[in-house]
Structure 1
Amino acid sequence: MDFDDQAQLDSSQVENRGRGGIPGGGLAIGGGAAGIIALIVALVFGINPGDITGGGGAENPGVQPSSDLGEKCKTGADADQDEQCRVVGVVNSLQDYWSTQVDGYQKAKTALFEQGVQTECGAADSAVGPFYCPVDRYIYLDLSFFNQLESQLGAANTPFAQSYVIAHEYGHHVQNLTGTLEQSGGEGADSGSVRVELQADCYAGVWAKNAVDTGFFAKPFTDADIQEALDAAAAVGDDSIQQKSGGQVNPDAFTHGTSEQRVTWFTNGYKSGDPARCDTFSGSI
């Protein structure tokens, strides 16, 4: 992926909160890779960390950005050179696209953090992976997740794999605005949770097809870029994660869909470029 060097970035859409504390120690995390994977099973690309922490909305999350991204993230050239600036560029492109597709679109900010963060959905730490909080309409992301994606889940830590993850989370924001996020819930191969997650994958593919039209990228994504996204989607399938964590594949515990399903729905979105083709709630998935 190659940003347009002259594209002007809006860094106000991304906050860098730095290292955050979680009162009372926050989440109790199991030790080693198995513990981390177990949490990723529950929340990777998830929606609400409060469901696991048992906490409700956190009072006064205390947004205090640790550094001003505007000082270093000004153009597409910066996004090509710096990981945080790349997040800014991808977020800018996503919001530019979805503002043309959703009537009355309201922008969602992304908060970068390290180790732990307070949100209106509760407290979370890095092991939960990226997530969207529908209460405060923020996407929360610890960039160290991408190292885990590679070292523990087997997907390469590449620019477009990262972009897919961010695009998936903004898919949840679109669902929140349009009302389909409310259909999330339950476990199992045909559950509302799986259908919501697969639609977010499809929305990520739709954005990828249309991203160059937002003006932030110099050219359409290459086949190699798209393959990076497909590899990441496959790595976070329920069946793949269950196997990597040493267990048997149990469809009754699915919450995000199989590797094949996640690849299929991203591909559906990418080939069609049409959000209307992302109806995962009708018929089989």
Structure 2
Amino acid sequence: MAKLAFLGLGVMGYPMAGHLAAGGHEVTVYNRTTAKAEAWAAEHGGSFGGTPREAAQGAEIVFTCVGNDDDLRSVVLGEDGALAGMAKGALLVDHTTASAIVARELAEAAAAQGSGFVDAPVSGGQAGAENGQLAIMCGGSDADFARAQAVMQVYAKACERFGDVGAGQVTKMVNQVCIAGIVQGISEGLMLAAEAGLDAKQVAKLVSQGAGGSWQLSNRADTMMDGHFNHGFAVNWMRKDLGIALEQAKEVGVSLPVAALVDQFYADVQQLGGGRWDTSSLIQRLRVLKGQKIDG
């Protein structure tokens, strides 16, 4: 069992930190809203720190799970950041979906003080975090990855190293690009079924058993047809992730025309007031184009 710190108690981080505590580890948490850290500590029997530095002191591994590159820098760097509280030999593991650039930046800062770094973005959504069934995509040295994997297994369905620091973030970009295309395809397919007079939910159930099946189709078709989107992964966050992927693609000279198009479709959803809707809300854009009433 290890002494750990977990920084960032959002819809993903809160249950992930809980799994670590349930696994017998000694966990200290930090959250920008202290009341949430206090609530977590009361629920799971851990402790909380007033700053990232305070939470990280004495920890063998420090986990972060925040919003974006700037949020990540704010909890890791500076006099109150996690690195300032970490001892030589400690390991920083980042679960944020961020850029490969910031991953390499933080890895360099960690190495300068004798600490390791693994970028480890996750996929599986809130349900995956709560059920301990996340897919974790990692970048870092073999030794650092092995050390992190031994602890992350409490909330992992799958956990794999793809290369050096930054490789995990690039893998997560691939994940988001795939989701964007799939959800748009499902939206178009369901609209076609409904407008042709079919029971779209029945169609989705059958199609999900064949070559057209996917997690999104199996888990989102019914709510898409019912117009329910107050759950899951928000459009605002997907646009952030697709922006990172498109920048990475530009850097390596790869064209992502479908991802770029769907990113603009998500911008349309934001204009409909759906920034906090689940990513499956792409179908609402098609309903607007068709002139149908939407509930959201």
More helix by share: 2
Same-fold call, TM cutoff 0.5:
no
Which has the greater radius of gyration?
2
TM-score by length of 1: 0.28
Q: Which has the higher contact order (CA 8 A, sep 6+)?
A: 1
